[in-house]
Copies of this chain bind each other. A is one copy, B any other.
Amino acid sequence: MLSHENLDTFDSFRKLQSLKGIRTADGSLTAERVQECSVPAAAGLVYNYAAKEVNPRLLKILQELADEAQLIGKFEELYNGEVVNTGEKRKVLHHLTRGQLGKDVIYEGRNLRTFYTEQQKKMADFAEKVHSGKILSSTGKKFTTVVQIGIGGSDLGPRAMYLALEQWARKNNTLKMTARFISNVDPDDAAGVLSSVNADETLFILVSKSGTTQETLANELFVKAWLEKKGLDPSKQMTAVTSETSPLANNPGYLASFYIDDFIGGRYSSTSAVGGAALSLAFGPGVFADFLAGAHEADRSACVQDIKKNPALLDALIGIYERNVQGYPVTAILPYSQALSRFPAHLQQADMESNGKQVNLRGEPVNYATGPTLFGEPGTNGQHSFYQLLHQGTDTIPLQFIGFTENQSRDDVIVDGSSSQKKLCANLCAQIVAFALGKKDDDPNKNFPGGRPSSLIYGKQLIPRTLGALLAHYENKIMFQGFAWNLNSFDQEGVQLGKVLTKKVLGGEMDGALKAYADIFGI
């Protein structure tokens, strides 16, 4: 394995620190700069960093940092199957669910690429049988709705991906089933979703890698009781996505089971069976395959050493500069696409759960800031909400814009000489420039300081391939940042303590403050 050292041990990082406070996105944001600061990404996407505070000297040092920290080499180790999740002693193989980047990865005599593609094939066959009516509900009805039961990584990614393609699929006559999602242990979540579906036309997918997730098991029983109350047979309307060693595996209580393994982290599981079952059912296996192809293309572009040809790596390194040199604690994700309404929530998990850590791979505390807080809402909605603070607040928050030339539904309306889609894109362009350049005004209340850095990822239209590439871009960005910070981005020990204390409360073993809080809720 390569040597894994802290960010602040690198010469290039010390050089980077000397560049604190450079300003490029203000006076020098010219048309030429917009054209130059452009990196082709996968599936026709382009990453543009013109409105970031980046100059050639900074780029040079970021390249040195990428090389010194061996970021590409570490990615190679990862996709070649080394045990890079050292705490849990696991490989990290979500890239392998969408293509082969390096060597065959063999585990316990099995080629894991083969395993993942077998599962995809199994899901495709199952979905086609459901769509063709070969598999029917327990009363013989055709399934029209799929409801995924899962939480965290088994919910946010698949939900965000479904919403991202729903209108596109409707327009392209490939919306085979509508999808809904139950996640929260709050029983009102399941009650709300169930109130909106027809029981005898609904197929459920239970998703839990371990098969022991408290929320998911509770919601499974909630749903089963509801089906039984309606005289339906849950075993004919419920499928499972789990690991082969879980209690849910090979279980006659499910109509079908699809498998993942320990090398697919929850927050990186959208391209595995965790996302594949719901997306294949909702949109058809071909759409899911296109989504995977886009992700694989982005993975390939992440293998390139030259940061000017590797958008995920460049994005990651600019983020390191913003976090560790400029000291910005927050990043906003601002997709100008209603289809991406829950994409920021998914990235919030992917990013904050991966890199919200304070010890390095050797378990030593690090002396620098790691993962930032990440949030976002789609534009133009956000413009009428929190953009006030982004423009005129006392903190600088780096921004990541996403936009597309064409909308998905192709429905549109011309008002005041422009379509809504054109208005959407015009707003996006206007915001980038407003944040970068600001505007002097004699009334200080109307003064915009500018110098608020942003990047832009754009493409022609959000289609399955584009979505896959977009998702993989961010997954790889997070991975590179984790490498740079010398973290294990693939465990989540920070979720354990809450689980332990919850068990104590439910087992009646609590005292002190914990008991006092439990008393409040009559537990």
Contact = CB atoms under 8 A, between A and B. Distances in A.
B518 A409 contact: no
Nearest to A447: B359
A314 interface: no
Contact of A186 (B405, B407, B418): B407
B431 A187 contact: no
A285 B92 CA distance: 55
Given A389-B356, A498-B431, A167 B191 contact: yes
Given A151-B384, A221-B413, A386-B352, A428 B35 contact: no
Interface in A346-386: 348-349, 352-353, 355-359, 363-366, 368-375, 377-381, 383-386
Given A352-B393, A405-B521, 12 more contacts: A155-B381, A184-B381, A185-B427, A186-B424, A215-B384, A345-B377, A358-B393, A373-B397, A388-B492, A417-B506, A430-B499, A436-B513
B152 A187 contact: no
A58 B366 CA distance: 32
A125 interface: no
A396 to B, nearest CB: 10
A372 B395 CA distance: 8
A419 interface: yes
A214 interface: yes
A106 interface: no
A3 interface: no
A429 interface: yes
A22 interface: no
A369 to B, nearest CB: 5
A515 interface: yes
A318 interface: no
A2 interface: no
Given A409-B191, A433-B501, A185 B34 contact: no
A454 to B, nearest CB: 11
Nearest to A224: B413
A11 interface: no
A327 B156 CA distance: 31
